[in-house]
Amino acid sequence: MSGNIELLNTTLAAAKAADRAALIAYLPAGFPTVDGGIEAVKAVIAGGADVVEIGLPHSDPVLDGPVIQTADDIALRGGVRIADVMRTVREAYEATGVPILVMTYWNPIDRYGVERFTAELAEAGGAGCILPDLPVQESALWREHADKHGLATVFVVAPSSQDARLATITAAGSGFVYAASLMGVTGTRASVGAQAQDLVGRTRATTDLPVCVGLGVSNAAQAAEVAGFADGVIVGSAFVKAMLDAPDEAAGLAAVRSLAGELAEGVRKR
């Protein structure tokens, strides 16, 4: 079975054709449990998310702030495995038909085996992978297998990325470009800021791929602000926080569905 990069491409193109940004939600697999995590993905899609990123929990997540680290810790203590990540992708995709990506650091893939990982992700209906710490110059093996299995390879660019470096990164990527809106770790911020808009402009000068902005968006007003200059708005910590703050799982699912609805309205007000 081939992966779903084409579904990802058409979903992002449809949002653009509707003159809006796509809403991309991030949730870690295995949080609060594997089953609960699958229900959370379904809930954010029901609320209006166009694309979902499933995080592969990692014990040393260099990009992730305290909220996602807390969720990752809960998932790891619950014994989450790569098989559970694949199951989350499969069940969420089969239930919704929405493109589902995996966001992971490189080390777990390297240990698991690139061919095995890409084959299983494609078989589960996954659309691709976001690889925040894989250097482009070391990505040939991954990209060869991702291409073979119809998976997108999404690289992360940051405000510190020089223009020549941006061109190298975007030439190697597919699906979309993940623009980290600021230096530092993930988390909700009071302001997403001009840095992100500048980065999107510089990135767009190097590629026709959609440019989606993450790190810091937590409410409809910020989503609308970012939707004014980006092709997609990526929200993670705000969803995870809504689950963490809820008194029980049912309340958590209701909270993330409601937040997705507010953010989906926000991205339509560009």
Strands in 232-235's sheet, in edge-to-edge order, are: 152-154, 128-130, 100-103, 51-55, 22-28, 232-235, 211-214, 177-180, 156-157
Measure the CA–CA gap between 48 and 58, rounded to whole angstroms: 27
- In one letter, which amino acid is 217? V
**245 included as an active-site residue:** no
Measure the CA–CA gap between 118 and 129, rounded to whole angstroms: 9
Which candidate in 39, 50, 64, 91 is catalytic?
64
**73 included as an active-site residue:** no
Coil, helix or strand at residue 233: strand
Cβ-based burial of 248 (10 A; exposed 0-12, middle 13-18, buried ≥19): exposed
All residues at 6 or more sequence positions from 265 whose CB lies less than 8 Å from its CB, including other chains = 48, 220
Coil, helix or strand at residue 88: helix
Say if CB 226 and CB 21 are below 8 A apart. Answer: yes
Measure the CA–CA gap between 263 and 87, rounded to whole angstroms: 27
- In one letter, which amino acid is 203? T
Give me the residue label for tokens 């250097």.
135
Query: Which of 184, 239, 233 shows the shortest CA–CA distance to 212?
Result: 233
Which candidate in 19, 35, 50, 53 is catalytic?
53
Catalytic residues: 53, 64
